[in-house]
A = this chain, B = another copy of it.
Amino acid sequence: MSMGETMQGITLEELQLAARNHGMPLEALRYDITPVGMHYLLIHFDVPFVDPDTWTLSIGGRVRTPLTLSLDDVRARERVRLPVTLECAGNGRARLSPRPISQPWLNEAVGTAEWTGTPLAPVLEEAGLEQDALEVVFTGRDRGIQGDIEQNYERSLRLEDARRPEVLLAYEINGQPLPPQHGFPLRLVVPGWYGMTHVKWLDRITAIARPFEGFQQADAYRVRQTREEPGEPVTRIRPRSLLIPPGIPEFLSRRRIVSPGPCVIEGRAWSGWGLVERVEVSVDGGRTWADATLDPPVSPYAWRGWRFEWDASVAGEYELCSRATDAAGSVQPLDQRWNAEGVTNNMAQRVDVTVAPSRPS
């Protein structure tokens, strides 16, 4: 939302969510890997307490050999470390009009961590999926009520998605055991997919022979114009670019003040549909654009750095935007793509900046 725009006041219920969950302060875009505590967090219910000594992961349902793995069992398997950008499907929701009521994210529900874990595919292989297995359901230990249904948080993947080599059962973030809020002791990581996929506090994995109809799959995380339509499921992350707001902020408005002169604008861009191949920057609210310089990609699943040299020599008011284009040819829109849950919105960021008059030296 740009200066002067207004929004319908946030309700107590939304504020309760905003106070619990948190985004990544945008200045953390400076790090390739987001420090723990700056990475975004969205927790549907409560962070559960899990005793790692008695915790096990069970793999069952339509498998020939049900498995029960301890944390040591999981850690003894093949070990993979992968930088992955996670983004909440609801990122940008609070900027939609009318605003869908849920966690009121502005732009900052994102982060990139190095996840260490073991690939899921060999675990499924060892359990031996039955011929009729169609999907794999991941059940977390977090429990609550949503849509009038008491539930553990659960999501499924189709077999072809679950078996991809980059899908991990992760037990470390940035080289440390998962902290409670990131899913200790084990979580799912599905590179390229929105955050709701990466089930935390894993309790069990169940192969099923029919499409999963749990609340978080069939009722929530659908792209649709009304809550009554079935809509399309939310899957991979749409391209997005964010820039580090330059200069210094005013405390309450977060408006940016930049000293006159050359100003390097830096940011990150990502997509779950392919490499980001282009980032463009506008300093006039999207009327004109220029290409940013892209850093080499660090991982197919992590954001890509970019920079743009802005000649901010003329005092005045500016509105900075950036937009990413991915290898699939998708470009971030400047206007909202509204839907009833406010998901998969990737409207370009807008940052109001005042270039201050030169000071007498």
Closest to A25 in B: B20
Given contacts A25-B20, A249-B145, A251-B45, are A10 and B10 in contact (CB under 8 A)?
yes
Q: Taking the complex as formed, is A286 at the interface, i.e. its CB lies under 8 A from any CB of chain B?
A: no
Which of B22, B145, B181 is A248 in contact with, Cβ under 8 Å?
A: B145
How far, in angstroms, from A106 to B253 measured CA to CA in the complex? 20
Given known A9-B8, A36-B179, A37-B182, contact A251–B145 (CB-CB < 8 A): yes
Interface string of A81-109 (1 = CB under 8 A from B): 00000000000001000000110111010
The reply to whether A12 and B19 contact each other, CB–CB distance below 8 Å, is no
Of all chain B residues, which has the CB nearest A38? B181
* A37 contact set on B, CB distance < 8 A: 36-37, 39, 41, 179, 181-182
A133 beta carbon closer than 8 Å to chain B: no
Residue pair A20, B23 in contact (C-beta under 8 Å): yes
How many copies of this kind of chain does the complex include?
A: 2
Distance of A155 from chain B, by nearest CB (Å): 15
Residues of B within 8 A of A7 (CB): 11-12, 15
Which B residues are in CB contact (< 8 Å) with A123? none
With both chains docked as a complex, state the minimum distance between the C-beta of A228 and any C-beta of chain B, in angstroms.
19
Nearest CB in chain B: distance from A32 CB, A: 13
- A94→B16 CA distance, assembly (Å): 10
**Distance of A123 Cα from B179 Cα, bound (Å):** 35
Hey, which chain B residues are within 8 Å of A23, CB to CB?
19-20
Report whether A254 and B16 are in contact in the complex, using a CB–CB cutoff of 8 Å.
Answer: yes
Nearest to A47 among chain B residues (CB) is: B27
Q: Is the CB of B9 within 8 A of A27?
A: no
Q: Is A312 an interface residue (CB 8 A)?
A: no
Residues of B within 8 A of A181 (CB): 25, 35, 37-38
**Cα of A39 to Cα of B22 in the assembled complex, Å:** 12
Q: A105 contacts which chain B residues (CB < 8 A)?
A: 19
Contact A106 B248 (CB under 8 A): no
Inside 8 A of A12's CB, which chain B residues have their CB?
Answer: 1, 5-7
Query: In the complex, A30→B50 CA distance in Å?
Result: 12
- Residues of B with C-beta under 8 A to A307: none
Could you say which residues of chain B place their CB within 8 Å of the CB of A21?
Answer: 22
**Using Cβ atoms and an 8 Å threshold, which residues of chain B touch A249?**
45-46, 144-145
Residues of B within 8 A of A30 (CB): 49
Q: Report chain B residues within 8 Å CB of A245.
A: 46
Interface assignment of A250: CB less than 8 Å from any CB of chain B? yes
Q: Answer whether residue A75 sits at the interface, using C-beta atoms and an 8 A cutoff.
A: no
A45-B248, A145-B251 in contact; A19/B19 too (CB < 8 A)? no
Contact of A46 among B13, B146, B248 (CB under 8 A): B248
Contact across chains for B18 and A15 when beta carbons are under 8 A apart: yes
Shortest beta-carbon distance from A250 to chain B in Å: 4
Q: In whole angstroms, how far apart are the Cα atoms of A30 and B48 in the complex?
A: 10
- Name 26 interchain pairs, CB-CB below 8 A, sorted by A: A1-B12, A8-B9, A10-B14, A13-B252, A15-B94, A16-B254, A17-B252, A17-B254, A18-B18, A18-B19, A19-B104, A22-B41, A27-B47, A30-B49, A35-B181, A37-B41, A37-B181, A37-B182, A38-B181, A44-B251, A45-B248, A45-B251, A46-B248, A46-B249, A102-B252, A146-B250
